[in-house]
Amino acid sequence: MDEPAVRRAVARMAREIVERNAGTEGLILVGIHRRGVELADLIAEEIEKSEKDKIPLGTLDITLYRDDLSVIGPRPVIGASDIPADIEGRAVVIIDDVCYTGRTARAAMDHLADFGRPARIYLCVLVDRGGRELPIQPDFVGRHFEVTPAEDVAVLVPEQDGRLAVELRKTDKG
Amino acid sequence: MTTTVEFGKDLTGLEGLSVDQISTILDVAEPFKEISERPIKKVPVLRGKTIVNLFYEPSTRTRVSFEFAEKRLSADTVNISGTGSSIVKGESLVDTARNLEAMRIDMVVIRHGSSGAAQFLADRIPSNVINAGDGQHEHPTQGLLDMLTIRDHMGTLDGRRVCIVGDILHSRVARSNIYGLTRLGAEVAVCGPPTLIPHGIEELGVQVFKRVEEAIEWAEVLNVLRLQLERMKAGYIPSLREYNRFFGVSVARLEQAPRDILILHPGPMNRGVEIDSHVADGPHSVILRQVTNGVAIRMAVLYLLAGGSPERAEAAKKGTRS
């Protein structure tokens, strides 16, 4: 996906979120570190443009909620979790770049529970690459990709990668 | 994003740590600060781990700080102190630890009066061992939290001038500070009565000030150590009053300094002996900040050691889906 394609997907997901929520009332967007945070910014911009309404925007770092510390060891880069508004009774949209095993989404839901009890949690991802290991499905998807184990999906975002795109890459596995 | 810096099984001192290892601990402590500010001060990362706090010497601050760190990472903790346990019945350190191991523990935090006790234990049990102060050897987490506090306020440790004032001879805090600070590029000095400055300390790369006025003239940071009151009975200093007169950090002395000086103290303080109340409670004191940072540093150390075994590193190399 090149930049215009990503932007179109982001704009469509923004519309779908507002439509599903019947407006922007009670909506909070939460990006997952690191690329989900930038995508959440883009989606929030789109919603602001069309609805003329500023949506609370938060970030989550799920590193300490992962279930695989004993498998892959500690990760030294831990971002801040910052939820700007009370999530009690509101609709929280978790935003990430790729949905794969579903373990990140599970960890994000566990983490959100520490901040309160939302009325509803949605999952929004730019790429759904299949391969779920948990019964979790995204509500809003930019693009489905059939990805073989020998390939990897790379979502590139401006602040970290210098451009906006989605690329399939060969891995040394498989 | 998996860690590229490997940690061993244990943390027994800062002497053997690399620049990368120390920097990683300080960096990882940053996000852990925020967890203690949340309404629910808990993350599940060490869920199911059992940690024993084995304290052969009295300690409030360090033990409570470790315990908060462990609990905020969701570990299960047991505290064993010198009195009221089989320690007073004469059981040896290794026997105590082996019995604990038989109950399937994962980590031991040990405070002991003998230098080298933490390493001795670490060499004999498979659990992770963290040194919470061993004799006159090291107190690595105190050194790390001092470094984090200085870095918070000065931006970097590289090139900063830190003077440790007080009983350097008996102080494990001084040793951990010297190793850690010099490793990260700070200039370190010590200052105290000649009887309490070890011979040959210059070999560790520190300079010695005989007068506290000189230290204040030079330093950007003073780490004021507690004067153990029993040192007077042992004849190292003539009297507490005399110590205060020559080495006490007072407002009057600090006013002579060419700059504001950041004031650290590992606690517990003897107000009016090594530090005056107006300094301890003054605008440049970060003594309570040290206590707050202590919990974050200990969380970082627990987290990094808990996931740092060679088998796990091996599994990481094979690649695990995320």
Structure tokens at B77: 């903790």
Q: Residues B53-63: pLDDT tens digits?
A: 999 998 889 99
The one-letter amino acid code at A131 reads G
From B34, B38, B320, residue closest to A114, measured CB to CB: B38
Q: What is the mean pLDDT of residues B6-33?
A: 94
Distance CA A96, CA A99 (A): 7
Query: b vs e for B288-310, b when ≥16 Cβ sit within 10 Å of the residue's Cβ?
Result: ebbbbbbbbbbbbbbbbbbbbbe
Mutation pick from B2, B49, B301 vs chain A, by most beta carbons of A within 10 Å, is: B2
Average pLDDT over residues B91-105: 88
The average confidence (pLDDT) of chain B is 91
For position A69, what pLDDT does the model report?
Answer: 74
Q: Write a three-state SS string for chain B.
A: CCCCCCCCCCECCCCCCCHHHHHHHHHHHHHHHHHCCCCCCCCCCCCCCEEEEEECCCCCHHHHHHHHHHHHCCCEEEEEECCCCHHHHCCCHHHHHHHHHHCCCCEEEEEECCCCHHHHHHCCCCCEEEEEEECCCECHHHHHHHHHHHHHHHCCCCCCEEEEECCCCCCHHHHHHHHHHHHCCCEEEEECCHHHCCCCHHHHCEEEECCHHHHHHHCCEEEECCCCCHHHHCCCCCCHHHHHHHHCECHHHHHCCCCCCEEECCCCCCECCCECHHHHCCCCECHHHHHHHHHHHHHHHHHHHHCCCHHHHHHHHHCCCC
The residue type of B25 is I
Residues of B in Cβ contact (< 8 Å) with A68: 320, 322
Question: Which pLDDT score is estimated for B15?
Answer: 96
pLDDT at B322: 39
Is residue B149 scored above 90 in pLDDT? yes
| pLDDT of res. A151 | 86
CB A89 within 8 A of CB A118: yes
The pLDDT confidence band at residue B9, using thresholds 50, 70 and 90, is very high
Mean pLDDT throughout B209-236? 91
How many CA atoms lie within 13 Å of B171's alpha carbon, on the beta-carbon side? Answer: 30
Interface of A with B (CB under 8 A): 61, 63-66, 68-81, 100-101, 103-104, 110, 114-115, 131, 133, 173
Which of B303, B304, B311, B318 is the best substitution to test chain A (most A C-beta atoms within 10 A)? B303
**What number of CA atoms fall less than 13 Å from residue B178's CA on the CB side?**
22
Contacts with A69 from chain B: Cβ below 8 Å: 45-46, 306-307
Burial tier of B255 (Cβ tally within 10 Å: 0-12, 13-18, 19+): exposed
Record: contact B28-A78, CB cut-off 8 A: yes
pLDDT of residue B244: 94
Confidence of residue A34 (pLDDT cuts 50, 70, 90): confident
pLDDT at A78: 81
pLDDT for A173 beyond 70: no
Predicted pLDDT at A149: 77
Q: Report pLDDT for B86.
A: 67
Contacts of B319 in chain A (CB under 8 A): 173
- Rounded CA separation B73/B79 (Å): 16
Q: What is the ipTM of this complex?
A: 0.72
Q: Give the burial string for A65-80 (b: 16+ CB within 10 Å, else e).
A: bbebbeebbbbbebbe
B3·A73 Cβ contact <8 A: yes
- The mean pLDDT of B150-168, rounded to a whole number, is 97
Per CB-CB distance under 8 Å, the chain B contacts of A103 are 322
* pLDDT score recorded for residue B130: 98
Q: Tell me the nearest-neighbour CA distance from A72 into chain B, angstroms.
A: 5
Positive/negative CA dihedral, B213, B218, B219, B225: negative
pLDDT at B315 over 50: no
Q: What is the pLDDT of residues B131-140, one digit of tens each?
A: 999 999 999 9
pLDDT at position B308 is 52
Q: Chain B contacts of A100, Cβ < 8 Å? A: 321-322
Q: In Å, what is the CA distance from B45 to each residue of A19, B8, B210?
A: 37, 19, 48
And the tokens for B299? Answer: 């969380």
Please report where in the chains the tokens 């047991």 appear, as a residue: B78
**pLDDT tens digits for A39-87?**
999 999 999 999 999 999 999 999 889 877 767 677 777 887 888 888 9
Eight-state DSSP code of residue A2: -
Mean pLDDT over B23-46 rounds to: 90
Closest-CA distance, A67 to chain B, in angstroms, reads 8
What local confidence, expressed as pLDDT, does residue B40 receive?
Answer: 83
Q: Minimal Cα–Cα distance from B131 to chain A, Å?
A: 20
Residue B213 corresponds to which tokens in the numbers above? 């006025």
DSSP state of A66: -
Q: If you average pLDDT over residues B292-301, what whole number do you get?
A: 97
What pLDDT sits at residue B266? Answer: 96
Pairs of CB atoms within 8 A across A/B: 86
From chain B, pick out residues whose CB is under 8 angstroms from the CB of A78: 28, 30-32
pLDDT at residue B313, rounded to an integer: 43
Minimum CA–CA partner of A74 in chain B: B307
What is the residue-averaged pLDDT of chain A?
A: 91
Residue B319 has pLDDT above 60, yes or no: no
On chain A, the residues whose CB falls within 8 A of the CB of B296 are: none
The whole-number pLDDT of residue B312 equals 47
- Give the residue with greater pLDDT, A128 vs B81: A128
Percent of chain B at pLDDT exceeding 90: 76
CB contact (8 A) between residue B321 and residue A101: yes
Q: How far is A51 from chain B (nearest CA, A)?
A: 32
Instruction: Give the other-Cβ count within 10 Å of B63's Cβ.
Output: 18
| Radius of gyration in angstroms for the set of CA atoms belonging to chain B, rounded to a whole number | 20
pLDDT tens profile B172-189: 999 999 999 999 999 999
Closest CA to B221 of B252, B191, B179, B183: B191
Contact B300, B29 (CB under 8 A): yes
Q: What is the pLDDT, as a whole number, of residue B71?
A: 97
DSSP state of A54: P
Q: Which residue on chain A is closest to B303 by alpha carbon?
A: A74
Instruction: Tell me the CA distances in angstroms from B47 to A69, A156, B51, B97, one per residue in order.
Output: 10, 34, 11, 22
How distant is the Cα of B303 from the closest Cα of chain A, in angstroms?
Answer: 7
State both tokens at B124: 């004999």
Give the pLDDT of residue B309.
46
pLDDT at residue B58 in the model: 87
